[in-house]
Structure 1
Amino acid sequence: MSIRIATINDVREAEDVIRNHVSPVPLIRSYALEKKLGLPSSRRVWLKDYGWTPVGSFKLLGALNWMSNNLERIGQRSVVAHSSGNFASGISFAGMRFEKRVVVIMPDSAARVKFDLTRSFGAEIRTYDISQDHLTGERDRLTREIAEEEGAIQASPYDDPYVIAGNGVGGLEIVNELRAVGRDVSQFFCQVSGGGLMAGHALAIADGFPQAKIIGVEPEGADDFCQSLKAGHRIRVERPTSICDGLLSYDVGEHNWPILQQHVPQAVSIPDAATQQAMKWLYKVHGLRTEPSGAITTAALLSGNVRLDGEGDIVIVLSGRNLDEESFQEWITIS
């Protein structure tokens, strides 16, 4: 069965939807990273910080576009989705905006702040044991049961063309803002989990800055995309592990893979210790309490594992800031 792959035109159409609900998030120049990396004065580093959204991550972009484009199908029924936490609050926010009931399946170990945000927008939460999910498949079973028994419409957190296109609006924001001031981009760093964030941004960045090298970033213990690139087909990691709870998908989505294959030629895997160092650096230098999944792209730069060739600017995505204070303090208390 053929699937519909999102395009740059889908991203442009999603922009009108997103602007009805949220403003663009900041693109912040990091003078400190430019100095740390030893870049010449002609090159700049930009942080696209999705911590500024109403849900503290990028996830509401795809959720809003998905909800807007599925209203007729949803009708009076509920929406159900599984999420480690950030899509949970994103789809909950979308449900609030479009007055739809939302049920989300979350791991019982998710950060309290993610539970609180999700409930604050009105969603109902049901939990599962993520440590055993690779054996039990409980996450997918619960989601499927709610869809079947309650007649709910299932929303994918990443493997859907409307979700991809909505996420890509953030990439359009980057392109429009930098082109407006005459800047060019040499490297673009973005997290890869299920691939919804990267696929959407890759469409926008490749269209606006076709010469830019788009680089995926994953945790070492959840590097299915790195393995997939090498193999030339999607690889599934049966038990992904990392402090980056938002990057623990088993594989990239079916809708995402063709876009990633076309536009993302390189990916790097980062050890959790390097991500912790990046979290500490972002807090010390920029005052940002960034969750591990958000800080991992900064870790890719600070680790020195990627050559920063070219003369253009560098853009890195900070995908979210939702983490509990105790966990944050524990992770940044390193030498």
Structure 2
Amino acid sequence: MTIREVTIDDVRDAESVIREHLTPIPLIRSYSLERELGLPSHRRVWLKDYGWTPVGSFKLLGALYWMAKNLERIGDRPVAAHSSGNFASGISFAGMRYKKQVVVVMPESAPRVKFKLTRSFGAEVMTYDISRDHETGERDRITRELADERKAVQASPYDDPYVIAGNGVGGLEVVTELQQQGRDVSHFFCQVSGGGLMAGQAIAIADGFPSAKIIGVEPDGADDFRQSLAANKRTRVDHPQSICDGLLSYDVGEHNWPILRKFVTDAVAISELKTRGAMKWLYDTHGLRTEPSGAISTAALLSGQISTEGTGDIVVVISGRNVDEDRFQEWMTLPSDSK
């Protein structure tokens, strides 16, 4: 695989494409988090909430830019992709916008809301057993077969320069808005799975706020990036496990790793209980429904595992909110000894 460097110019080009489809994602000040952290009055906390996109997650940004940049290559062929669910709906929406057929491979255990969203934009859905995929490789096999048998063009949910640049548009929005307000950023908390979100965001944040500490957040049962950062090389977790279904990649992508290694200053692994606590906190305090993957960066901030000393503002990514009601209520019910 040839690794092409993704730059801030790529992110700016992606913004011009994405603006044809989406307005900027809200950046919401959290007075409650400022109080919770005991911050002085000159520091602020901001939530970048990608739940407001038409697909309920950040995945739409990279999917739209990837589709726009591959139209000639796709032609009359279908697009094939594997996804835990959020990229599935993102690439499905992009296919709808650009009038392209999309086929996605999703875990049969994915949240029902993610199946519903994906199909609502016109995609065909195929499923596999994620519990055995580390042994069978079924996900990748089905996706390859789609490419071979239907001549489909494969779209990576994270390991692709166009996906990275598209996702970076959200970070560029953060920079633009806070610079217009004359603000500075000292800490940026963002989820890491395959690394497509964090890589794109990190490029934009590091360009706009060079002194900001960029912190990657993962479940403690799927912390391949944290291990990679410690070992200074890509490290694979063969059987990632977490309620954060959107953060279960085996390792970070090859295109993502050089960017993450360059810009991300630290990584933290968060327990399931802390993630559930953050889901409940966001709902009780702000009325925000989040999926576990969406809430985990807030959990990292609330946990105190990373020092937030500094003089600038703190930005926390809420990556998505696609969660089934029954599971949401289950995860919101915390053990009595954790309250």
Paired amino acid for 2:7? T
Partner-residue secondary structure (3-state), 1:221:
coil
Within 5 Å, give how 1:142-291 maps onto structure 2: 142-291=142-291
Partner residue, 2:9? 9
TM-score of the superposed pair, with normalisation by structure 1: 0.99
Q: Distance in 2 between matches of 1:324 and 1:311?
A: 39
Partner residue, 1:126? 126
The 4+ residue runs of structure 1 with deviation greater than 3 A are none
Partner-residue secondary structure (3-state), 2:315:
strand
Partner-residue secondary structure (3-state), 2:139:
helix
Q: Which residues of structure 1 form unaligned runs of 5+?
A: none
Partner-residue secondary structure (3-state), 2:126:
strand
Paired amino acid for 2:331? W
Q: Does 1:40 align with 2:40?
A: yes
Partner residue, 2:316? 316
Q: Distance in 1 between matches of 2:294 and 2:239?
A: 21
Partner residue, 2:19? 19
The alpha-carbon deviation at position 5 of structure 1 amounts to: 1.9
TM-score of the superposed pair, with normalisation by structure 2: 0.98
The alpha-carbon deviation at position 309 of structure 1 amounts to: 1.6
Q: CA RMSD in A?
A: 0.5
Using the aligned pairs only, state the percent identity. 75
Paired amino acid for 1:113? V
The alpha-carbon deviation at position 265 of structure 1 amounts to: 1.8
Q: Distance in 2 between matches of 1:13 and 1:289?
A: 32
Q: Distance in 2 between matches of 1:185 and 1:29?
A: 13
Partner residue, 2:140? 140
Q: CA offsets, 1:168-205, max 9 Å, x none?
A: 00000000000000000000000000000000000000
Paired amino acid for 1:309? E
Q: CA offsets, 1:82-126, max 9 Å, x none?
A: 000000000000000000000000000000000000000000000
Paired amino acid for 1:116? K
The alpha-carbon deviation at position 3 of structure 1 amounts to: 1.6
Q: CA offsets, 1:62-81, max 9 Å, x none?
A: 00000000000000000000
The alpha-carbon deviation at position 2 of structure 1 amounts to: 3.3
Q: Distance in 1 between matches of 2:2 and 2:34?
A: 45
Partner residue, 2:60? 60
Q: Distance in 1 between matches of 2:302 and 2:60?
A: 28
Q: Distance in 1 between matches of 2:14 and 2:279?
A: 32
Partner-residue secondary structure (3-state), 2:187:
strand
Paired amino acid for 1:188? F
Partner-residue secondary structure (3-state), 1:254:
coil
Q: Distance in 2 between matches of 1:2 and 1:35?
A: 47
The alpha-carbon deviation at position 315 of structure 1 amounts to: 0.0
Q: CA offsets, 1:238-295, max 9 Å, x none?
A: 0000000000000000000000010002000000100000000000000011000000
Q: Which residues of structure 2 form unaligned runs of 5+?
A: none
Q: CA offsets, 1:120-155, max 9 Å, x none?
A: 000000000000000000000000000011100000
Q: CA offsets, 1:25-49, max 9 Å, x none?
A: 1000000000000000010000000
Within 5 Å, give how 1:51-130 maps onto structure 2: 51-130=51-130
Paired amino acid for 1:110? A
Partner-residue secondary structure (3-state), 2:216:
strand
Partner-residue secondary structure (3-state), 2:221:
helix
